Amino acid sequence: MAQSDVLVVGAGPAGLSAATELAKRGVSVTVLDREDQAGGIPRHCNHPPYGLREFHRLMRGPAYAARLVDEALAAGVTIRTRTTVVALHPGGTLDITSPQGLETLTARVVLLATGVRETSRAARLIGGEKPGGVMSTGALQGIVHLNGQRPFQRPVILGTELVAFSALLTCRHAGITPVAMIEPATRITAYSPAAMLAGVLGVPILRGTAIDAIHGRTRVEGVRLNRPEGPEEMATDGVIVSGGFRPDAALLRASHLEVDPGSGGPVIDAWGRLSDPSYFAAGNLLRGVETAGWCWAEGRRVARAIAASLQGRLPAPTAARLRLTSDALRLAVPQMLPIDTPPDSGAATRLQLRLNRPAKGRLRLMQEGQCLLTRRIESLPERRITLPLPALRSTSDITLTLEER
């Protein structure tokens, strides 16, 4: 039974902005989220900067999330919280579980906007004991901002992506004093001004350093560091394992939909359409973490594509496949590129790239032996790189190569 034209899975910035845009266009939309409240990650991030692109003002995460929810409700969107989608079936059919029990819902289109997860301690293969006090930034922010608790006093923060500096701010808010930030690479991953925040707060950043083992019986008591000058023990009562964001794609992997091994998210075309054209995707699920404003804008654009699809205005899903031919290239989104894009159809105009490791050189986008586009880059992993989507000659494969020098 079709309850809404469109079902959106995930009430973060991408899902809510898409739902609002669709509702404003007269499409009936229901948003499903497993949490008690809608709003996504920003609900836990009680710090700026949120809202500049969307509302032209500097906001903290919870106020920003509340505004997104208010706008969606005002536009006529139905939001169902405490509702977890547990399976995706062909043709836009979902199995859900909620306080009402198990249900099956069907819509003409399903938008997936389930965001990202941080890479866990287990996935990073950190040895030692398994005491309490080891957590992701997201878990820390939930404990501090939603539960009002202080899980430790003097933790270490592993990682230096932007989110690690968000963890620093959360610690400061809760009266927690981190002992150090630990970065395995020789440079920090966030843009270098972020390091000034650590300096101002008196937290040293130990570059070229890994955490080999975590010690402690019930609570963390220390960590063994592998430093350039040799092993070192450090006393600490907690470990914040930050960043290493990967798409929250458990649902996708268990489904009939095609997953990109590079991004870990769905394979999409320029409209955000998946291998089953009744499914679309937007937000961090596509590639890993971006700013909330980026995800919000992506949600709005994909909503225009969904509206065009419901009106039968999108071209059939035939497209050229993009292949990455250099080991430094981790992902490129969209993976299927269009030959022709009808006006106001919500097609992406740029290709988003990420690297596996620091690299510099010349990118070349090739089709049928012709160079469509070339660009010099120098970047670190997890940094945003974009290229204009080139005009294609045919649906034959396109290759993207990085010639390093």
Ligand X SMILES: Cc1cc2nc3c(=O)[nH]c(=O)nc-3n(C[C@H](O)[C@H](O)[C@H](O)COP(=O)(O)OP(=O)(O)OC[C@H]3O[C@@H](n4cnc5c(N)ncnc54)[C@H](O)[C@@H]3O)c2cc1C
Binding site for ligand X (CB under 6 A): 9-15, 32-35, 40-42, 45, 47, 49-50, 84-85, 113-115, 137-138, 141, 163, 166, 248, 251, 283-284, 289-293, 295
User: Taking the complex as a whole, how short is the minimal distance between the CB of residue 323 and ligand X, in angstroms?
Assistant: 26
Q: Which is nearer to ligand X, 209 or 284 (CB)?
A: 284
Q: Which is nearer to ligand X, 51 or 216 (CB)?
A: 51
User: Taking the complex as a whole, how short is the minimal distance between the CB of residue 141 and ligand X, in angstroms?
Assistant: 6
User: Taking the complex as a whole, how short is the minimal distance between the CB of residue 138 and ligand X, in angstroms?
Assistant: 5
- Are 264 and 284 within 8 A, CB to CB? no
User: Taking the complex as a whole, how short is the minimal distance between the CB of residue 42 and ligand X, in angstroms?
Assistant: 5
Q: Which is nearer to ligand X, 19 or 320 (CB)?
A: 19
Output DSSP code: residue 195. H
C-alpha span between 214 and 234 (Å, rounded): 10
Tokens of 369: 């032996």
Q: Which is nearer to ligand X, 94 or 398 (CB)?
A: 94
Residue 146: partners with Cβ closer than 8 Å, 6 or more residues away:
43, 44
Q: Which is nearer to ligand X, 162 or 366 (CB)?
A: 162
Q: Where are the alpha helices (DSSP H) in 142-271?
A: 162-174, 194-200, 250-253
Q: At what angle do helices 292-310 and 61-75 cross, to 10 degrees?
A: 20
Q: Which is nearer to ligand X, 269 or 298 (CB)?
A: 298
User: Taking the complex as a whole, how short is the minimal distance between the CB of residue 84 and ligand X, in angstroms?
Assistant: 4
C-alpha span between 212 and 363 (Å, rounded): 36
User: Taking the complex as a whole, how short is the minimal distance between the CB of residue 167 and ligand X, in angstroms?
Assistant: 7
What is the signed CA dihedral for 9, 13, 18, 19, rounded to 10 degrees? Answer: 60
User: Taking the complex as a whole, how short is the minimal distance between the CB of residue 382 and ligand X, in angstroms?
Assistant: 12
Output DSSP code: residue 309. H
Q: Which is nearer to ligand X, 203 or 392 (CB)?
A: 203
User: Taking the complex as a whole, how short is the minimal distance between the CB of residue 50 and ligand X, in angstroms?
Assistant: 5
C-alpha span between 173 and 50 (Å, rounded): 17
User: Taking the complex as a whole, how short is the minimal distance between the CB of residue 17 and ligand X, in angstroms?
Assistant: 8
- Are 334 and 400 within 8 A, CB to CB? no
Q: Which is nearer to ligand X, 259 or 366 (CB)?
A: 259
User: Starting at the edge strand that comes first in sequence, how are the strands of the sheet with 350-355 ordered?
Assistant: 329-333, 350-355, 385-388
What is the signed CA dihedral for 371, 377, 379, 384, rounded to 10 degrees? Answer: -70
Q: Which is nearer to ligand X, 117 or 400 (CB)?
A: 117
DSSP assignment of 48-86:
S-BSHHHHSS-B-HHHHHHHHHHHHHHHT-EEE-S-EEE
User: Taking the complex as a whole, how short is the minimal distance between the CB of residue 136 and ligand X, in angstroms?
Assistant: 8
Q: Which is nearer to ligand X, 5 or 290 (CB)?
A: 290
Q: Which run of H or of E encompasses 29?
A: strand 29-32
C-alpha span between 367 and 394 (Å, rounded): 8
